[in-house]
């Protein structure tokens, strides 16, 4: 899948430039360290930067779980399925002309339906769905690690190396950037961890898709297993709708 949105490419480029800038600055400061710490700091900095940059590019170009559009709408506009004993009504996407599977939603930016769509991330110029959600979590984790490492290393330089000279402008800038990024990325990682534990997506949580209770919720351990394995949901049975209105459903997926 190619990056189609020219405006969003600048988001991706800005993130890559920020990571490259921070890492190169860290490396340029490495001579201030003793030989014992200089090499490990360079290796860790470059490793984290390369991992994060490659994951950003990978998430940006991977197919998040795009569902194929159809020319004509389905004969039956709705479909009723049973999920863990709960009856759910599935609707037709008027743009893609398909009956959206459970947890699939249409993205107005991508103009396609995405399987198990979580949200559209401008910073990677792509939707986060079934195929790249796990990599997105790994990206958040390694970005947090890089932020913590940058902050810690900069504080160490200020406290133990440049105290006598007072030349700590660059280190202070790195700390400010690290704290700002850690505040936002760390909070996002905590939020997505909560979603994994409760077997929800960002869309489902913010839109309150399941007002009568999440039919996909199981146990804490099972929710985590389902996410990391990303296996098809079990116990989903299709039923013949009794009426277009779907009067028997307990949950209505938009």
> Helix 133-160 vs helix 220-229: angle between axes, to the nearest 10 degrees?
100
Tokens read off for 199: 């077997």
Q: Which of 96, 121, 127, 147 is catalytic?
A: 121
**Neighbour count for residue 238 (Cβ, 10 Å):** 10
Residue 52: enclosing H or E segment and its boundaries? helix 35-61
Give the chain's radius of gyration (CA, Å): 23
State how far the Cα of 157 lies from the Cα of 152, in Å rounded to an integer: 9
HSE at residue 90, side-chain half, CA atoms within 13 A, is 22
Told to judge if 121 belongs to the known catalytic residues of this protein, a careful annotator would answer yes
Q: Is 215 exposed, middle or buried (0-12, 13-18, 19+ CB in 10 A)?
A: buried
Q: Report d(CA 15, CA 182) in Å as an integer.
A: 14
Coil, helix or strand at residue 201: coil
Give the Cα separation of 228 and 214 in Å (integer).
Answer: 19
CA dihedral for 86, 92, 95, 96, sign (positive or negative): positive
Task: Return the active site residues.
Answer: 121
């Amino acid at each position: 899948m190619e990056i189609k949105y020219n405006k969003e490419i600048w988001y991706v480029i800005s993130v890559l430039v920020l990571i490259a800038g921070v890492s190169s600055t860290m490396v340029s400061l490495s001579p201030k360290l003793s030989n014992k710490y200089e090499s490990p700091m360079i290796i860790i900095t470059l490793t984290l930067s390369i991992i994060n940059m490659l994951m950003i590019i990978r998430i940006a170009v991977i197919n998040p779980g795009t569902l194929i559009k159809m020319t004509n709408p389905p004969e039956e506009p709705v479909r009723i399925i049973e999920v863990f004993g709960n009856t759910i009504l599935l609707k037709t996407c008027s743009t893609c002309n398909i009956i959206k599977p459970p947890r699939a939603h249409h993205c107005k930016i991508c103009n396609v339906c995405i399987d198990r769509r979580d949200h559209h991330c401008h910073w990677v110029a792509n939707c986060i769905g079934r195929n790249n959600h796990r990599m997105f979590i790994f990206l958040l984790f390694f970005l947090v690690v890089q932020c913590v490492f940058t902050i810690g290393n900069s504080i160490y330089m200020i406290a133990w190396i440049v105290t006598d000279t007072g030349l700590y402008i660059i280190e202070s800038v790195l700390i400010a950037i690290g704290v700002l990024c850690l505040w936002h990325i760390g909070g996002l990682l905590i939020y997505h961890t909560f979603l994994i534990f409760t077997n929800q997506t960002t869309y489902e949580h913010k839109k309150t898709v399941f007002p009568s209770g999440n039919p996909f919720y199981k146990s804490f351990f099972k929710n985590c297993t389902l996410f990391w394995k990303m296996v098809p949901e079990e116990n989903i049975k299709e039923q013949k709708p009794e009426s277009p209105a779907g009067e028997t459903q307990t949950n209505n997926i938009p």
